[in-house]
Amino acid sequence: MSTATASFQPKPSLPPPAATVGVVGWLRANLFSSWANAALTLLALYVLWKVIPPAIDWLITNAIWTGESTSDCKNPDETRKGGACWIYVQAWIPGYIYGLYPYDLRWRIDLAGVLSVLIMAPLFFKKMPYRATYGMIAIILVPIVAALLFNGWYDFAPSDPRASSHPWRTVETSKWGGMSLTLLIAWVGIGASLPIGIVLALGRRSKMPIVSALCVGFIELWRGVPLITVLFMSSVMLPLFLPEGVNFDKLMRALIGVTLFSAAYLAEVVRGGLQAIPRGQFEAASALGLNYPKSMALIVLPQALKIVIPGIVNSFIGLFKDTTLVAVIGMFDFLGAIQLGNADPKWLGYAVEGYVFAAILYFICCFSMSRYSLALERKLQTGHKR
């Protein structure tokens, strides 16, 4: 060619066709893309219209919010009024929070709650120095402080008058209950099961056959047994095996059971994350001179745990709900307290309200965990796709 080189002029970018953008475009693409789709959309709208307004009526509009006793929730002819009787739930809220804890000592639980918030509060400051270290200490500290306050200091003989009046007298764990107990069990279970789960996952992938076999055995054993069995075993059978005089607390045994059970599940979740990390990451870390603990702690685990955040939170939510199973060994957690309330002679016949309230509260807790995990995932996203 004899002519000079042609200079390259890129074509200008054009806007997309109007029917594919905006509200109309979205409706067309997602709700009315075909006759079948349009029919399904209308059917769904009909079902929602049939379900949501009555639910709102019962929960809010027609509900009874003020009053003293069941008579406020009844028509003159002794039938129930059409809405929820929230005054029962209001009357029982202290019971839901504290369970059977002695009335005069409930301030100790309040104090534990306030202290927990204060201990955790500095973590909201992103710029805080040593935030990670402090976070780990705080997670261990909170349940210890709470348990100390729940338990109290002075163990008086039953004959001593102070055994029923002293502000710091001990309260046995069978009296603990309600939401405070649920939160305590969930906190300990979550806080302790994650590190144990990580160790089990690393152990299972170990090249040392004994370590790996022990971890596999442990995981499979705990995963293969229902939690309810674990709790029964811990409360009924374990004491039979322990020597005379050795006795450790029922709550402690339940905590250990819940923790190890959850750790076995978490181990498998974490192992999934470890398997997703390419070998090259470990090789690069080794080539730089990082030893096994350092390359795990700095390179492999941060990436692996990030990948399995959904799975970890899944396990945590499961654990949170499984805490209700401590009811079978005679502990009144939040759900147990709801059932106590339902059996209250003053409020007989309003169990539905109790259960609906329990459902709402559990949902709020679990949904916030789920949202938090999504936020965490977004925060840790570093724009890499491998």
Partner 1 sequence: MSVAEKDHVKSTMTSEVAVQMVAVHKWYGEFHVLKDINLTVHRGERIVICGPSGSGKSTMIRCINRLEEHQKGQIIVEGTELTNDLKQIDAIRREVGMVFQHFNLFPHLTVLENCCLAPIWVRKMPRKDAEEIGMRYLTRVRIPEQAKKYPGQLSGGQQQRVAIARSLCMNPKVMLFDEPTSALDPEMIKEVLDVMIALAEEGMTMLCVTHEMGFAQKVANRVIFMDRGEIVEQNTPHEFFNNPQSDRTKLFLSQILRH
Stretch in the footprint of partner 1 (CB under 8 A) among 104-112, 118-126, 275-283, 323-331: 275-283
Q: What angle separates helix 106-120 from helix 131-151, to the nearest 10 degrees? A: 180
Judge whether 262 and 189 are in contact, CB under 8 Å: yes
d(CA 178, CA 186) in angstroms, rounded, equals 12
Pair of tokens at residue 49: 């219209």
Closest to 44 (Cα-Cα) out of 54, 56, 31: 31
d(CA 326, CA 333) in angstroms, rounded, equals 7
To partner 1, the closest distance from the beta carbon of 273 in angstroms equals 12
Look at the alpha carbons of 95, 98, 101, 102 in this order and tell me if their dihedral is positive or negative. negative
Closest to 194 (Cα-Cα) out of 91, 309, 351: 309
d(CA 228, CA 327) in angstroms, rounded, equals 10
Residue 310 in the binding site for partner 1 (CB under 8 A): no
For partner 1, the closer of residues 258 and 304 by Cβ is 304
Residue 280 in the binding site for partner 1 (CB under 8 A): yes
Among 120, 211, 225, 290, binds partner 1 (CB under 8 A): 290
End-to-end C-alpha distance for the chain, whole angstroms: 45
Residue 278 in the binding site for partner 1 (CB under 8 A): yes
Residue 276 in the binding site for partner 1 (CB under 8 A): no
To partner 1, the closest distance from the beta carbon of 302 in angstroms equals 5
Report residue 103: phi and psi, to 5°. -60, -45
To partner 1, the closest distance from the beta carbon of 300 in angstroms equals 10
Q: Using the structure block, give the residue that is written with the tokens 């990390």.
A: 277
To partner 1, the closest distance from the beta carbon of 358 in angstroms equals 40
Question: Residue 88: left if φ>0, alpha if ψ -120 to 50, beta else—which one?
Answer: alpha
Residue 249 in the binding site for partner 1 (CB under 8 A): no
Residue 133 in the binding site for partner 1 (CB under 8 A): no
CA atoms within 13 A of residue 337's CA, in its CB half-sphere? 26
Among 47, 284, 348, 359, binds partner 1 (CB under 8 A): 284
To partner 1, the closest distance from the beta carbon of 375 in angstroms equals 17
To partner 1, the closest distance from the beta carbon of 301 in angstroms equals 10
357-360 long-range contacts, Cβ below 8 Å, gap at least 24? 357/89, 357/96, 358/334
DSSP 61: I
Stretch in the footprint of partner 1 (CB under 8 A) among 115-123, 152-160, 276-284, 332-340: 276-284
Residue 306 in the binding site for partner 1 (CB under 8 A): yes
CA atoms within 13 A of residue 128's CA, in its CB half-sphere? 13
Among 136, 298, 348, 359, binds partner 1 (CB under 8 A): 298
What is the total count of residues that contact partner 1 (CB under 8 A)?
24
Among 70, 281, 339, 370, binds partner 1 (CB under 8 A): 281
Residue 129 in the binding site for partner 1 (CB under 8 A): no
Among 286, 343, 372, 374, binds partner 1 (CB under 8 A): 286
Judge whether 253 and 232 are in contact, CB under 8 Å: no
For partner 1, the closer of residues 53 and 278 by Cβ is 278
Among 131, 162, 294, 346, binds partner 1 (CB under 8 A): 294
Among 54, 135, 302, 310, binds partner 1 (CB under 8 A): 302
Residue 383 in the binding site for partner 1 (CB under 8 A): yes
Report residue 201: phi and psi, to 5°. -65, -45
Residue 287 in the binding site for partner 1 (CB under 8 A): yes
Residues that bind partner 1 (CB under 8 A): 278, 280-281, 283-291, 294, 298-299, 302-303, 306, 380, 382-386
